[in-house]
Amino acid sequence: MNCVVVLISTLLAVQMEYVTAHPDRLKEIAEKCKEKEGVDEGAIQALIEKKLNEYPNGKCMAACMFEEDGIIKDNAFNKEGIMSMAEKIYGDQKDKIEKTKEVIDSCEKEINESTGDRCEVASKILDCSKKNSILLFEHHH
């Protein structure tokens, strides 16, 4: 398993636990980002079907969602954002927090190749997650 897969798995685990704890937040962020990025209603369906990256302007909507959670900041992957989310979720489970940090440290360079273009940073994360059958955004009914 290469480091990007491990990173995406870690990102997934952290973001999913957060979203599971706050199910209304995903819907709220999706609606807000849909308007902000000027995508139509179909983008929400694309998000649910895990096809956001293929949707017109979908990767920018994904970037907006990552920005809302502090995972992308200033057009770049934000390690502090994911760490702060991990700390909120894992609390005193220091082993999980440490594992998250190790994975991010080892993979940051690969993700940061797209720094400067927020939509491409999000696209790279989504592409990688899809290629490895890992889901970053989960829809809860």
Query: Exposed/middle/buried for 104, CB within 10 Å: 0-12, 13-18, 19+?
Result: buried
The answer, yes or no, to whether residue 115 has pLDDT greater than 60, is: yes
Report the pLDDT value the prediction gives residue 1, as an integer from 0 to 100: 47
Instruction: Record the pTM.
Output: 0.70
22: left (phi over 0), alpha (psi -120 to 50) or beta: beta
Report the pLDDT value the prediction gives residue 19, as an integer from 0 to 100: 62
Domains parsed from the chain with CATH numbers? 3-131 (1.10.238.20)
Torsion of CA 16, 46, 34, 54, to 10 degrees: 110
pLDDT in tens, 30-57: 899 999 999 998 888 888 777 888 888 9
Report the pLDDT value the prediction gives residue 46, as an integer from 0 to 100: 85
Average pLDDT for residues 109-138, to the nearest whole number?
69
Report the pLDDT value the prediction gives residue 84, as an integer from 0 to 100: 84
Report the pLDDT value the prediction gives residue 107, as an integer from 0 to 100: 65
Report the pLDDT value the prediction gives residue 139, as an integer from 0 to 100: 42
pLDDT in tens, 48-97: 777 888 888 999 998 998 898 888 999 998 888 878 877 887 888 888 78
